[in-house]
Amino acid sequence: MRIDSTKERQYLENVFAKLGFTDEGGKLLADTLVDADLRGISSHGIQRLAWYQRMIKEGTIQPQNHAKIVRELPGTVLVDANQNMGQLAAVLGMKKIIEKAKKTGVAIAVIRNSNHFGTAGYYARLALKAGLVGIALTNTRPLVVPTNATQAFLGSNAFAFGFPASPHPFMFDGATCVVSGGKIQVHAKNGENLPGEWAVDKKRQVVSNAAQAEDILATAAFTEGEQKGGGVLTLGGKDEVNGNYKGMGNSIVIELLTGILAQGSISADTVKGNHDFSQFLMAFDPAFFGDPATLAADATEMFNRIRHLDHVPGRKIWIPGDREYRLLAENKTKGVLIDKKTYEEMQEIGQELGVDVPD
């Protein structure tokens, strides 16, 4: 089913107000979820609401807390999310480094004591809107099995990178492993087999049954101390010979820039009840290096050349961002797609909090 995004936004703002967030905080959270749904990234849209509510009830999220700047230099910021949602701290951090990067050319922020922050791309786009290049990273629950290992340890660790171009920016945004856990959940929900080398069991054998893979991930992501086995593969797949140690390297780089720099939990330790994710943000001013319009035109020309390379018949070459901006245009008119289970959750939450649910 589809819901008009304006109605989705109103519903979310009402819910977040009832859940104890400030007006500003609630509006921002609603915006990040609506934005994800509009871009077709439904794994990070309103379907997360029930989980957010659960974390508030458990006390993992403190909706009235304010994120704060712990320390700053002309190019760096350390932000404490203060156990509230990651979105609130990440917007604070990104705004701060945008300001700094306009003076010094570049700035970075690390966020500690944080939580889920929606799509990483949201913050890279804040930098783009300010005329800058933006990068956002987060660690996650432990889902990913290092090269040759049979246990999950690394996060699916998202990486977003935005660069100005036409008709829309270059927008690379996603998990660093082969696929996100969300994509496996969708296959499980639809009773489909997994089509590629996505997940392995505790013997490092590829799992093609989506429900089995989902079980493996749920155990890896949420159980402490038990003997766990299997998980999602690093980019490069099952075998070392195809470079999966490079995928592992990329994942470890994000562990270092988030959990380690923030002195929070690494992904492997987010199962210990504290659920403290960490984030890393960066912005720099392309205008320092050349005329921004020229740089965007050069990037656009490169993308067009790639899109038109000789290719396998019947296949298309997509540039990161192409799908997302196409869906954004479509969903703004048609409304965002909501699955049945999520709509039921919206109804339950609406009833519990006395908030009208859009039809």
User: Segment 271-300, which members bind its own copies (CB under 8 A)?
Assistant: 284-286, 288-290, 294-295, 298-299
The only residue of 50, 69, 106, 337 in contact with its own copies, by rule CB under 8 A:
106
The H or E element that residue 125 is part of is helix 121-129
Q: Which stretch binds its own copies (CB under 8 A): 13-21, 58-66, 83-91, 317-325?
A: 317-325
Q: Give the Cα separation of 92 and 153 in Å (integer).
A: 30
249 is an interface residue for its own copies by CB under 8 A: yes
| 31-90 binders of its own copies (CB under 8 A) | 71, 73-76, 78
Q: Are strands 142-145 and 231-233 parallel, antiparallel or unpaired?
A: parallel
| 156-215 binders of its own copies (CB under 8 A) | 161, 163, 170, 172, 174, 176-179, 195-198, 202, 204
153 is an interface residue for its own copies by CB under 8 A: yes
Going by the DSSP 8-state scheme, the letter that residue 50 receives in this structure is: H
Q: Which stretch binds its own copies (CB under 8 A): 86-94, 121-129, 316-324, 327-335?
A: 316-324
**CA dist 214 to 77, 153, 185, 297, Å?**
37, 16, 6, 43
The only residue of 167, 310, 340, 354 in contact with its own copies, by rule CB under 8 A:
310
Phi, psi of 232 (to 5 degrees): -80, 150
The only residue of 50, 69, 130, 149 in contact with its own copies, by rule CB under 8 A:
149
The only residue of 263, 274, 304, 347 in contact with its own copies, by rule CB under 8 A:
263
317 is an interface residue for its own copies by CB under 8 A: yes
Q: What is the DSSP string of 20-63?
A: T--HHHHHHHHHHHHHHHHTT-GGGTGGGHHHHHHHHHHTSS-T
250 is an interface residue for its own copies by CB under 8 A: yes
136 is an interface residue for its own copies by CB under 8 A: no
| Paired tokens of 228 | 């766990």
The only residue of 62, 66, 99, 105 in contact with its own copies, by rule CB under 8 A:
105
| Contact status, residue 181 vs residue 194, Cβ threshold 8 Å | no
Closer by beta carbon to its own copies, 256 or else 329: 256
| Contact status, residue 302 vs residue 142, Cβ threshold 8 Å | no
Question: Closest Cα partner for 14 from 3, 27, 4, 5?
Answer: 27
Closer by beta carbon to its own copies, 52 or else 170: 170
The only residue of 25, 155, 236, 335 in contact with its own copies, by rule CB under 8 A:
236
Question: Closest Cα partner for 213 from 240, 253, 178?
Answer: 178
Q: Give the Cα separation of 340 and 328 in Å (integer).
A: 21
Least distance CB 234 / its own copies (angstroms)? 10
